[in-house]
């Protein structure tokens, strides 16, 4: 992509004044809020000014223009840098919102929030994840470009720029994703490192002595070291060089002074995470030659930053290109638009119905991980935007199918990512892919290793991103690998994340429904907890099959018309619940068996439906799950019982483990009879 030349105005105006506008807005907003981080925005202002005025292609009047460059602030604590840029560039972010920095319901929260502020591409704050999101965005761009671009029609052609600091590079996730980015040859990913030598605790030389340029060179990145981060000419030259390499991501290492311009606090941790103070701000204004009042920006500077006209021109140029593309490639254009809208293919409902019927008709026991693979065999070819990957467990997660194609080698962009052993990085990259748009990512690993990924899952839920996480080996049922690999607290932990949905199907039919609903969900992530061991199919009528989607439903009433006790179970324990209920019924106890594959979906149902499944009058309740018991008290109450596991597991075959930990039909029957 040819980068546009800077406006003539910038050739005559002192660029430092433009950067000082960013500095002034940052220190004024932090001071008024009495909270925030002025140091990074003041230190990176010169870099940001050059990037945004000379390189970044975007349209403030349409922040969702598909072919815009992406800008990610991985060091998200410096949010006022981003807000100042958005305000000055002409986004819907008024000076009043700048004045309301960090206040309730403002568009300028403490860290950038993707759905709160126009122009913010991702929520950042947990250090390193912004870099991971940027890798995901660059990967999505590459996949879509291979799929849709044609000679003379570079429909998908944009860069991803990410700012990051020392803290981002100290986080382990930076290694995971930087290593993979080079392997994937993400040449349109440009990272700019704010090398100011300061973190919250002081000078980083006491705890961060990495040779960062050598580290990234070893990954296979193009590295541009020792750039003066306060020299517009040096910054511009580095960005031109970075954009010219088609295969290697680029790290530009910029030496900066944190809190640049503050005479007493610049270059120290005192500028990092606290207001400068009125006296220091007054001295800073004098030092910078900025004679304006707080929150005052001259019209000439607004005019220099204003990107609305050139943004509209860039989009108009692209719109004209797409109009010609639509005429030349009718099918491809329609698919491209559909994928950007987030709509599933028109025949998805029919595909999902056929899949559910197929798996519901299975009579032989089947591990739910295998049922998931069977689902993917139908879904992957039917949903071209479905991009999967596994953390080096493809043949254990059963996440790879016949139609899977490696994104790193497939000429059409592919649909499968070999993430390697990078659970956290994988999950955060998937978030970036989803945020980019045009793809629906899924990841796969063992459930116990969701611990590595959890903060990325949390961020996905916070950002309402459409990501599916496949977690297999969901209990002690995985057997001989032992307690290090046996999840105990993980189901409860994932259920506790707001806006996250976890499905733990009991058989192939529930697995098919879980996949359907996961794909249809557009407002947050879905986790699928799947078994290693075979699970027997449960008999259902068509009404029960339809009720699976509600998250919890009546699977069996042992004595029709009578309920003495209720047993609730998920996953592999549903069969134990059924067997135990039948044994209790033989002793005269009328038991209702409720399968609860997704607690969050069930809780979202009407009170009438929930009461119909779990009648309030029936207080004798038992929950059964091979995991921590505490969670289930919300359903069984203090006078109910839970059969679970509140210790770590052990190494043995699965049947021996279930017997050892008391997860048996006999114990279920005894507990029901004792209620």
Which residue numbers are catalytic? 423
Fill in the DSSP letter of residue 629. Answer: S
Task: List Cα–Cα distances, 282 to 38, 39, 242, 310, 628, in angstroms.
Answer: 14, 16, 38, 35, 57
The tokens for 304 are 């220099």
DSSP code string of 142-198: HHHHHHH-BTTB--S---EEEEEEHHHHHSHHHHHHHHHHHHTT-TTEEEEEEE-SE
Calculate Rg over the CA atoms of the chain. 28
Largest separation between any pair of C-alpha atoms in the chain: 92
Q: Print the SS3 string covering 515-578.
A: HHHHHHCCCCCEEEECCCCEECCCCCCHHHHHHHHHCCEEEEECCCCCCCEEEEECCCHHHHHH
Q: Alpha-carbon distance 174 to 185, whole Å? A: 16
Residue 193's φ and ψ, nearest 5 degrees, are -95, 120
Q: Alpha-carbon distance 417 to 420, whole Å? A: 9
The tokens for 336 are 């491209």
CB 596 within 8 A of CB 569: yes
CB 401 within 8 A of CB 390: no
Task: List Cα–Cα distances, 422 to 175, 548, 600, 610, in angstroms.
Answer: 9, 33, 28, 39
Fill in the DSSP letter of residue 332. Answer: H
H/E stretch holding 198 = strand 198-199
Handedness of CA 646, 649, 654, 657 (dihedral sign): negative
Q: Alpha-carbon distance 83 to 208, whole Å? A: 29
Beta bridge partners of 445: 471
Fill in the DSSP letter of residue 1. Answer: -
Fill in the DSSP letter of residue 402. Answer: T
The tokens for 585 are 């019924």
Q: What is the b/e burial string over 539-568, where b = at least 16 CB atoms within 10 angstroms of the residue's CB?
A: ebeeebbebbbbbbbbbbbbeeeebbbbbb
Secondary structure of residue 503 in the 3-state scheme: strand
Beta bridge partners of 446: 472
Taken as a whole, the chain contains a residue count of 675
Ramachandran class of 7: left when φ > 0, alpha when ψ lies in -120 to 50, beta otherwise: beta
Residue 510's φ and ψ, nearest 5 degrees, are -65, -35
The tokens for 472 are 């297999």
CB 262 within 8 A of CB 25: no
CB 119 within 8 A of CB 93: yes
Fill in the DSSP letter of residue 54. Answer: I
Secondary structure of residue 300 in the 3-state scheme: helix
Q: Dihedral of the CA atoms 6, 7, 13, 15 (nearest 10)?
A: -30
């Amino acid at each position: 992509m040819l980068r546009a030349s800077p406006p003539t105005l910038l050739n005559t105006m002192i660029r430092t004044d433009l950067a000082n506008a960013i500095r002034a807005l940052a220190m004024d907003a932090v001071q008024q809020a009495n909270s925030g981080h002025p140091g990074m925005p003041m230190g990176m202002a010169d870099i940001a000014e050059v990037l945004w005025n000379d390189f970044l292609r975007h349209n403030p009047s349409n922040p969702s223009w598909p072919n815009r460059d992406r800008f990610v602030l991985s060091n998200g604590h410096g949010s006022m840098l981003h807000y100042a840029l958005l305000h000055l560039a002409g986004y819907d972010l008024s000076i009043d919102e700048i004045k309301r920095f960090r206040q309730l319901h403002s568009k300028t929260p403490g860290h950038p929030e993707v759905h709160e502020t126009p122009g913010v591409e991702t929520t950042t704050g947990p250090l390193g994840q912004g870099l991971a999101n940027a890798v995901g965005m660059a990967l999505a761009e590459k996949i879509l470009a291979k799929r849709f671009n044609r000679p003379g029609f570079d429909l998908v052609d944009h860069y991803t720029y990410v700012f990051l600091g020392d803290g981002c590079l100290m986080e382990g996730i930076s290694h995971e994703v930087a290593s993979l980015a080079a392997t994937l040859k993400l040449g349109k990913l440009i990272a700019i490192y704010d090398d100011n030598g300061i973190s919250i605790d002081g000078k980083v030389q006491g705890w961060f002595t990495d040779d960062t340029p050598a580290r990234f060179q070893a990954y296979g990145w193009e590295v541009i070291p020792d750039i003066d981060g306060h020299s517009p000419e040096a910054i511009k030259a580095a960005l031109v060089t970075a954009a010219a390499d088609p295969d290697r991501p680029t790290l530009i290492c910029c030496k900066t002074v944190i809190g640049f311009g503050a005479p007493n606090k610049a270059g120290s941790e005192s500028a990092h995470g606290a207001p400068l103070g009125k006296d220091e701000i007054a001295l800073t204004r004098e030092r910078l030659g900025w004679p304006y009042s707080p929150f005052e920006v001259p019209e000439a500077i607004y005019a220099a930053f204003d990107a609305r006209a050139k943004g509209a021109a860039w989009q108009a140029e692209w719109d004209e290109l797409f109009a010609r593309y639509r005429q030349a490639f009718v099918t491809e254009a329609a698919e491209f638009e559909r994928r950007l809208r987030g709509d599933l293919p028109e025949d998805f409902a029919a595909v999902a119905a056929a899949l559910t019927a197929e798996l519901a008709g299975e009579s032989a026991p089947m591990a739910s991980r295998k049922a998931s693979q069977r689902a993917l065999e139908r879904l992957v070819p039917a949903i071209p935007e479905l991009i999967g990957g596994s953390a080096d467990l493809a043949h254990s997660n059963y996440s790879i199918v016949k139609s899977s194609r490696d994104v790193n080698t497939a000429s059409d962009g592919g649909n499968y990512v070999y993430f390697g052993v990078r659970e956290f990085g994988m999950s955060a990259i998937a978030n970036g892919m989803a945020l980019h748009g045009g793809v629906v990512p899924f990841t796969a690993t063992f459930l116990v290793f969701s611990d590595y990924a959890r903060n990325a899952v949390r961020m996905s839920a916070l950002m309402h991103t459409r990501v599916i996480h496949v977690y297999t080996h969901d209990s002690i049922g995985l057997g001989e690998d032992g307690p290090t690999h046996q999840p105990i607290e993980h189901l409860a932990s994932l259920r506790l994340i707001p806006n996250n949905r976890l499905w733990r199907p009991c058989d192939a039919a529930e697995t098919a429904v879980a996949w359907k609903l996961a794909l249809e969900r557009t407002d947050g992530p879905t986790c699928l907890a799947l078994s290693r061991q075979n699970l027997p199919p449960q008999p259902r009528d068509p009404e029960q099959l339809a009720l699976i989607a509600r998250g919890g439903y009546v699977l069996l009433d042992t004595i029709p018309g009578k309920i003495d006790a209720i047993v609730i179970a998920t996953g592999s324990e549903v069969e134990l619940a059924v067997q135990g209920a039948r044994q209790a019924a033989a002793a005269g106890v009328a038991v209702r068996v409720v399968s609860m594959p997704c607690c969050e979906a069930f809780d979202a149902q009407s009170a009438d439906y929930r009461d119909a499944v779990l009648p309030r009058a029936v207080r004798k309740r038992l929950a059964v799950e091979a995991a921590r018991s505490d969670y289930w008290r919300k359903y069984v109450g203090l006078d109910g019982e839970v059969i679970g596991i509140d210790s770590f597991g052990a190494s043995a075959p699965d049947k021996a483990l279930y017997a050892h930990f008391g997860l048996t039909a006999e114990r279920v029957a005894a507990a029901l009879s004792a209620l």
